[in-house]
């Protein structure tokens, strides 16, 4: 699991308390049998939502370098197939520090080139199974070329303002959800679920049902 490094400040502790993490166990609310403060967190302030009106947005926060995210891929893929037409799913590569940016850019470059379906899981495999170090732009461009992508097009897209802007937006989104580690899910701009493997999607189902109530 990739984790953000926090400094414990008075403001940070107050925010956690307001969100429910500091409440006694018996005082915590429950949705679908899952406990607020342990299974999920209700955001103190709503996060931005890109889904159109009438749709429920689910955001997967992940890092390519996170082995738990790699293991979560098949669980998440199968779960997405079960969701109703009113649910919109998107991925958000996290950037807890500057070292994350090259792989954030890789994700959005694949997206811009229409290659996520064919190459998203290849990135996980390269890092975790093949032990490749995709830690900078040069290594990533070489990987892209080895995996059948046009080097010139990939490089131009990787360095484009559009991709840089999406990376900035992704980092803003993770901050809005106060993402602490990966994998994690954001639901409807209102709820945050820390990674709990298969249990994560069970909690998500309950929170999606709650979001449908308005």
- Answer yes or no: is 170 within a domain: yes
Domain limits for position 102:
10-212
- Answer yes or no: is 38 within a domain: yes
Q: CATH code at 121?
A: 3.40.30.10
- Answer yes or no: is 5 within a domain: no
Whether residue 26 has pLDDT greater than 50: no
- Answer yes or no: is 3 within a domain: no
What is residue 126's three-state secondary structure?
helix
Q: Which residues contact 157 (CB under 8 A, 6 or more apart)?
A: 109, 112, 113, 163
Q: What is the pLDDT of residues 151-187, one digit of tens each?
A: 999 999 999 999 999 999 999 999 999 999 999 999 9
- Answer yes or no: is 188 within a domain: yes
Look at residue 32 in the predicted model and tell me its pLDDT: 85
What is residue 193's three-state secondary structure?
strand
What is residue 128's three-state secondary structure?
helix
- Answer yes or no: is 172 within a domain: yes
- Look at the chain and report how many structural domains it folds into: 1
- Between CA 209 and CA 132 the distance in angstroms is 40
- Answer yes or no: is 4 within a domain: no
Look at residue 30 in the predicted model and tell me its pLDDT: 85
Q: What is the pLDDT of residues 89-147, one digit of tens each?
A: 999 999 999 999 999 999 999 999 999 999 999 999 999 999 999 999 999 999 999 99
- Answer yes or no: is 195 within a domain: yes
């Amino acid at each position: 699991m990739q984790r953000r490094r926090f400094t414990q400040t008075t403001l940070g502790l107050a925010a956690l308390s307001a969100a429910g993490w500091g409440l006694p166990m018996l005082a915590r609310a429950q949705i679908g049998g899952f406990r607020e403060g342990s299974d999920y967190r209700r955001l103190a302030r709503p996060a931005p939502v890109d889904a159109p009106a009438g749709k429920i947005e689910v955001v997967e926060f992940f890092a390519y370098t996170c082995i738990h995210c790699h293991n979560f891929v098949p669980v998440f893929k199968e779960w997405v197939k079960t969701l109703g037409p009113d649910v919109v799913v998107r991925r958000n590569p996290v950037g807890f520090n500057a070292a994350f940016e090259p792989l954030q850019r890789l994700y959005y470059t694949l997206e811009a080139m229409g290659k996520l379906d064919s190459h998203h899981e290849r990135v996980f495999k390269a890092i975790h199974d093949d032990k490749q170090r995709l830690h900078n732009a040069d290594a990533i461009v070489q990987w892209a070329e080895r995996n059948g992508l046009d080097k010139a097009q990939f490089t131009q897209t990787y360095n484009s303002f559009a991709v840089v802007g999406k990376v900035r937006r992704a980092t803003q989104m993770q901050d809005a959800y106060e993402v602490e580690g990966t994998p994690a899910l954001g639901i409807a701009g209102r709820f945050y679920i820390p990674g709990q493997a298969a249990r994560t999607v069970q909690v998500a189902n309950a929170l999606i049902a709650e979001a449908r109530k308005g």
